[in-house]
A and B are shown apart, each in its own frame.
Chain A
Amino acid sequence: MNRIFAILLTIIAALCANAASARVTIDITQGNVDPMPIAAPDFLGVDDSTTSLGRDITSVLMNDLERSGLFQVIDQRAYIEKPEGVNVRPRFADWRIINAQVLIVGDVVELPDGRMQVSTRIWDVYSDEQVGAVAFKTPADNWRRAAHKVADFVYKTLTGEAGYFDTRVVFVHETGPKEKRVKRLMIMDQDGANPVPLTDGLNYQVLTPRFSPTQQQITYMALFDNRPGQVFLFNIETGEQEQLGTFRGMTFAPRFSPDGRQVIMSMERNGNSDVFKMDLATRRLTRLTDHPAIDVSPTMSPDGRRFAFASDRGGSQQIYTMTADGSDQRRITFGEGRYQTPVWSPRGDLIAFTRQYKGRFYIGVIRPDGTGERLLTESYLDEGPTWSPNGRVLMYYRQTPTRRDGTGGNSALWSVDLTGRNQRRVRTPADASDPAWSPLLP
């Protein structure tokens, strides 16, 4: 495990930064239209092992780009030119014929210290220009991260925004019958590779894990038998777990503040739930709401000035925002049905939510001022959105109904972009729920 965290990748050079003026770009703010056709021949190697690594890296890279919905990777069998090297100028005409707009060429070289270097150039096929180049050094067994780093570089070069491929997802791994479900904490790469269990699931069920935006730390709720569930902290690097204080009532629905120094959560006392925040250094608890209605699922804005939460103070559950000290309450949702699980985008521009309406569940987004509501997904049960660190993609879980004969009732992770058109299943080893996206790895 440790190996993953000792950060292995170093950007050694932008091989030849080229600030072209009329360069090819994708405007991802426009609710994407057509994916950009892109060609990515296998990264070149000098011997069997680097050639094989090159092929593997290209496959992970293409999968990342394709799944983003912004790119359409052209089938390799259509390629006319076989690139001769990462430093050789391509024959652009050969790529224009197959309608590629962008060409990615890379190679893998073994370094004297045993590590490998992955070099990549991005070419604009229509202006015959290089639009970006980068190289990473990494141990060979870390090739997946190198591939994700290349994908992030391509994404950033062509969209102007940071990518989200070199990230991980914590989630709840579910096994056993619904009445006696075993729920363990698990972590994997954003694309479903390298799943690793973090808790054994023996003493309690893990619910609603959330990633710290600044550290390799998770907060979640542990649901025990016969005593109220409590919020925990989990250090991914050391595996240490710690209950976040001892409370008579249940503590739940935790989430980190944007600076990672506080946990904002709900605490129940004599049946009523209000919102509190806890300073992690001092363990001082501050009350933020004081209302006889249910106040749950708090989430802070990235600038730390306001928080949003769900409350039934107006009758049905709706989303409200308040300043960080609990003043200036504003209701932001007014639609029919119930609005729950608000999650503030890391970009600050949107709040994602779960909406229940006429027996169906939806994942949607709305601006923090309450305008521009859009529903992105719909099913029997979609719940618990989490943002990619660049605020462009949501992951959530979907549960199917359990039939009368007891079959069905499966939970799986899904992702959707902000157009709502690019919905994809995220592979997990078994049933899964409650995903939480990590920040970009350092």
Chain B
Amino acid sequence: MTNFIKIAGVFVSLVLLSACTTGGNVGVDPNAGIDTTQTAGPVGAIPGSQQDLEENAGHRVFFAYNQYTLTPQAQSTLARQAAWLQEYPEARILLSGNCDERGTREYNLALGARRAEAARSYLASLGVDRARITTVSYGKERPIDPRSTEEAWSLNRNSTTTIKSVGS
């Protein structure tokens, strides 16, 4: 009987675990394990954090196929990033240029560098010190969306902004 209870207990926790994983938040939630139902009040992004940048400025700009010119939409996202960076003058950022899979590996590495540089130049033109910005190209090696669809490709053609360090 006790054995049965033990086994049943294990079974229940397995079910709970799998329920959590299908929920999709356990792996990335830094509060995993804390009883979040006890938290009172709204939880916003920490000012100056990556999450803050993503929520309040947008951290990705997208490009047309085989292009590295900034669309008006990309320019307005970068303008919000520039304003955000003025607010947090100690923040340093990394711009990573990415491509869809409809090009060769080597050309896409060069194209990704173009995209990151296009974003960097635009931020600099809006008054962000170039020294605060580093760039990297991942070519077609780091897709956000792995599928071979137009929708996935348009997501994968981007320059992504990541906070490298925030001054104290």
Contact = CB atoms under 8 A, between A and B. Distances in A.
Contacts of A207: 105, 109, 139, 141
Contacts, number: 114
Interface string A359-395: 1000000000000000000001101100000000000
B132 to A, nearest CB: 15
A208 B105 contact: yes
Given A207-B105, A226-B94, A294-B111, A250 B148 contact: no
Given A401-B148, A402-B148, A409-B146, A223 B117 contact: no
Interface stretch (A37-45, A69-77, A177-185, A283-291): A177-185
Contact of A381 (B101, B106, B117, B145): B101
Given A181-B141, A268-B137, A399 B109 contact: no
A228 B146 contact: no
Contacts of B106: 208, 252-253, 266, 296-297, 310, 340-341
Interface string B130-153: 000011111101111111110010
B114 A223 contact: no
Interface size band for A: 35 or more
A380 B148 CA distance: 10
Nearest to A298: B106
A271 B111 CA distance: 8
A402 B146 contact: yes
Query: For the complex, would chain B's binding face be called helix, strand, loop or mixed by DSSP majority?
Result: mixed
| Residue from B113, B120, B142 having most chain A Cβ neighbours under 10 A | B113
A205 interface: yes
Interface of A: prevailing SS: strand
Interface string A218-249: 00010110111100000000000000000001
Contacts of B104: 297, 340-341, 354, 356, 383-384
Given A226-B94, A252-B109, A383-B105, A271 B116 contact: yes
Contact of B142 (A179, A208, A297, A402): A179
